Amino acid sequence: MSIFVDESTRVVVQGLTGSQGRFHGLRNRAYGTKVVAGVTPGKGGSDVEGIPVYDSVQEAAAKEGAEASFVAVPPKAAPDAILQAAEAGIRLIVCITEHIPAKDEAYLSARLSRDFARTRLIGPNCPGIISPGKCNIGITSGDIALAGGPVGIVSRSGTLTYQALHELSQQGIGQTTCVGIGGDPVPGTTFLDVLQAFEADPETRAVMMIGEIGGDAEERAAEFIASSMTKPVVAYIAGVTAPEGRKMGHAGAIVSGSKGTARGKTEALTRAGAVVAVNPTEAGEKMVEIVRSLS
């Protein structure tokens, strides 16, 4: 079983008429995702290769039954686009937009938590979510994913998300769902959120978790793994060699003093019972060993 999305999920692409929205929205549709509408203010009544475009998410949800949104708009427009989707009753929002100011992300997090508790935001600055063979929302290539489970993947890094999918698929190990939560300082969905969903999913039998330096999300995840996770977890933390105070790739991937280090995260996850790999390839190998032992 997948988490958050499945083959029935109906998706609206906010920014479908733009270059990124068009490219990835059509790619998602070609994968089999039910992309039922696009939204671009002022372009309502047009279409993109047969996908109707509306002026608002409210209209798209009412007329096409959209329940999930793919936000592919510039940074200045993204916060309003996310809130418009939430106000329209969209239950899942995937935002790939980079460079949204941290203060805007903090405001979005507070508004969603306070006023739209039923809406889940994945991202911003993330590759999105894919349930192989069922639904793909975002920029992940469906070619590297393999349907049939039994592994769930959650990652802060987009590139390492793709590598994890590829490593497992090459070994014939399928995935239930892969969630790229993004590496910004204030993500809409956390490791903890996804681990809880995988723990509750009967078809997910093992989890791969890919973290990186900065923040304490991995340490919080380790607490949940230790106290509540019954399924094996393989983890990898990127950024072992990153110098103190240097941002690595993501706005949230920065070490300050003794906090947020790869060593600290690795030790916390090891104490929690996770199998911690020294590189992405080893993470894939460890997961293959675990899955084959479960058979």
Catalytic residue among 24, 99, 166, 250: 250
Q: Is 253 helix (H, G, I), strand (E, B) or coil?
A: coil
Cβ atoms 132, 166 nearer than 8 A: no
Instruction: Please report which residue ranges of 7-149 form alpha helices under DSSP H.
Output: 19-31, 57-64, 78-87, 102-115
Report the distance separating Cα 68 and Cα 91, nearest Å: 6
Report the distance separating Cα 202 and Cα 206, nearest Å: 10
Tokens 């058979």 found at: 295
Residue type, 19: S
Cβ atoms 119, 83 nearer than 8 A: no
Cβ atoms 152, 87 nearer than 8 A: no
How far is Cα of residue 253 from the mean position of the Cα atoms in its chain? 16
Report the distance separating Cα 288 and Cα 242, nearest Å: 28
23 phi, psi to nearest 5 deg: -60, -55
Report the distance separating Cα 1 and Cα 199, nearest Å: 12
DSSP 93-118: EEE------HHHHHHHHHHHHHH-TT
Active site residue 99: no
Q: Which of 210, 215, 203, 201 is closest to 179 using CA atoms?
A: 210
Cβ atoms 175, 201 nearer than 8 A: no
Residue type, 48: V
Catalytic positions, please?
250
